[in-house]
Structure 1
Amino acid sequence: MWKKKTEAEDMRLVEKNGVPYFVFKNLENTGLVRHGFSTRLGGVSEGFLSSMNLSFTRGDDPEKVRENFRRMGTAIGFETKDLVLSDQTHTANVRRVTEADRGKGFDKEKDYTDTDGLITNVPGLMLVTIYADCVPLYFVDPVHKAIGLSHSGWKGTVHRMGKVTLERMAEEFGTRPEDVQAAIGPSICQDCYEVSEDVAEAFMNEFADHQDDQLVYRKDNGKYQLNLWRANELVLLEAGIRPEYLTITNVCTCCNHELLFSHRASHGQRGNLGAFLGLK
């Protein structure tokens, strides 16, 4: 059993065809999407990439990565030809994905860079972002039948990536935040996430109105512990997401490094996890 920070059951681990992955109850209940968040289990990669590495940039055999994606597709319910992968560089850039993007990053070259968020209203496309401690953000607009999937590390969070994604969905699809079902996925918890003073100051400045939330606390060694889960929760609530429409993870990647890839726990010797979201 993995270590959970709370007893909330709005996110659960399922397994299909030997591939375990996390799903979110509120996203499932829309009936509109196929989605999941991978673990490091159920794939064919070897060594420190074992076994479900979903990145072509970690030194893995590309054919093993492709097989891992195929296995995720069999479990979640998508074909690899429908994948559209991000190009993450810790920005707050969000790209609208169209039919012309089908397959990019998997069997077609990407013609975009510096893209940490993807949004679409095209059924059948499967959006993918990758992780090894940073925060996955899922968005489903059941009114306009549109979705968003964004990667939010500390830089993305301090630049309010969740808000930016919702604003882009509003511009492109007419999305209203109060209609959106959202989820904050498995990522590093505050107890595990030590940061330097400059990072802590960036958060204290950006979230100055939330000092009581203890987003950051200082340790005796002069370092700070940062709460990315709560920071992203505040971003989404202030952007207009209803509290009852928001699922927040209770699973830390670093605490559960035997189940999930963690950059911190492995000192950089790791593969990448994948977040998947697609309209049926």
Structure 2
Amino acid sequence: MDLLESKTLKVNQKDGVVYYTFPAFDGLPFIRHGFSTRLGGVSRGDFQSMNLSFTRGDCPSHVSENFRRFCAAIGVDACNVVISAQQHNTRIYNAAESDRGRGVTRERVYTDIDGLITDRPDVVLCTQYADCVPLFFVDPVRRVVATSHAGWKGTAARIAAVTVDRMCADYGCRGGDILVGIAPSIGRCCFEVDTPVYEIFAKMDEFDESCFVAKPAGKYNIDLWE
């Protein structure tokens, strides 16, 4: 597997686990973060090897071991992980210490959650992705962190802005203090949508025609990063 490194993303490897970090976050001593790859786990077959989903038919013990390995690599405890329950919306959940382990070692008490926020140093936020855009938020002043899952629906519904607004309203953050990282996801080269989706974006105040490439048969390629 070829892993690309850029000014905004750094490739890391520890104990066989390969993952990405944001150099802009590396200087913040109060957080540990990472975006997993498929390398370094124990899953087999179609799930090889670092599968972190319990809902796709993989052996649960393999997924649990993958979480243990990935969390150890980035320097956190897998028992403290809180996983979202994504449905392509803009609902955000404020994760507390009492939520540690939800989605990994015990059941979640929430549904339809595409973003997580916390100010607790022993809570590890986890959102999951296929090809949608992962958003990581850090306020180094208030020491608040968040993650959000932005597919085209979440992007059109402004989940990034919703997350920032919640950080400000619930934790006293200021928008100008918040750092945001965009992790690997599908690019404009490959993400095709149809005309109804294009028209949803075209009605937005922030609409930018340069983010779309028209194709035959009413199709468009869209740049979700922009």
- Does the TM-score normalized on the shorter chain lie above 0.5? yes
Which residue number in structure 2 is paired with residue 82 of structure 1? 80
Aligned pair in 2 of structure 1 residues 147, 219: CA closer, same or farther (>3 Å)? Answer: same
Aligned pair in 2 of structure 1 residues 145, 208: CA closer, same or farther (>3 Å)? Answer: closer
Which residue number in structure 2 is paired with residue 42 of structure 1? 40
Which residue number in structure 2 is paired with residue 242 of structure 1? none
Larger RCO: 1 or 2 (CA < 8 Å, sep 6+): 1
SS in 2 for 1:66: helix
Seq. identity, % = 46
Which residue number in structure 1 is paired with residue 139 of structure 2? 141
Q: How does 1:26-37 map to 2 (within 5 A)?
A: 26-37=24-35
Deviation for aligned residue 1:14: 0.6
Deviation for aligned residue 1:220: 2.2
Which residue number in structure 2 is paired with residue 192 of structure 1? 190
| Structure 2: gaps spanning 5 or more residues | none
Aligned pair in 2 of structure 1 residues 30, 208: CA closer, same or farther (>3 Å)? Answer: closer
Deviation for aligned residue 1:217: 1.9
* Matching residue's letter, 2:11: L
Q: Distance in 1 between matches of 2:79 and 2:68?
A: 10
* Matching residue's letter, 2:215: K
Aligned with 1:218 (options 214, 217, 221): 214
* Matching residue's letter, 1:11: L
SS in 2 for 1:206: coil
Deviation for aligned residue 1:27: 1.1
SS in 2 for 1:150: strand
Aligned with 1:119 (options 117, 120, 124): 117
Aligned pair in 2 of structure 1 residues 215, 43: CA closer, same or farther (>3 Å)? Answer: same
For the 8 Å contact 1:17–1:74, the answer to whether it is kept is no
Q: Distance in 1 between matches of 2:155 and 2:9?
A: 21
Q: Deviations over 1:15-70 (max 9, x none)?
A: 00100000001111222210000001111111111111100111111111001001
Which residue number in structure 2 is paired with residue 95 of structure 1? 93
| Structure 1: gaps spanning 5 or more residues | 231-280
Which residue number in structure 2 is paired with residue 238 of structure 1? none
For the 8 Å contact 1:140–1:148, the answer to whether it is kept is yes
SS in 2 for 1:156: helix
Deviation for aligned residue 1:207: 4.7
Aligned pair in 2 of structure 1 residues 97, 218: CA closer, same or farther (>3 Å)? Answer: same
Identify which range, 217-226 or 11-20, moves more after superposition.
Answer: 217-226
Q: Distance in 2 between matches of 1:31 and 1:73?
A: 17
For the 8 Å contact 2:42–2:50, the answer to whether it is kept is yes
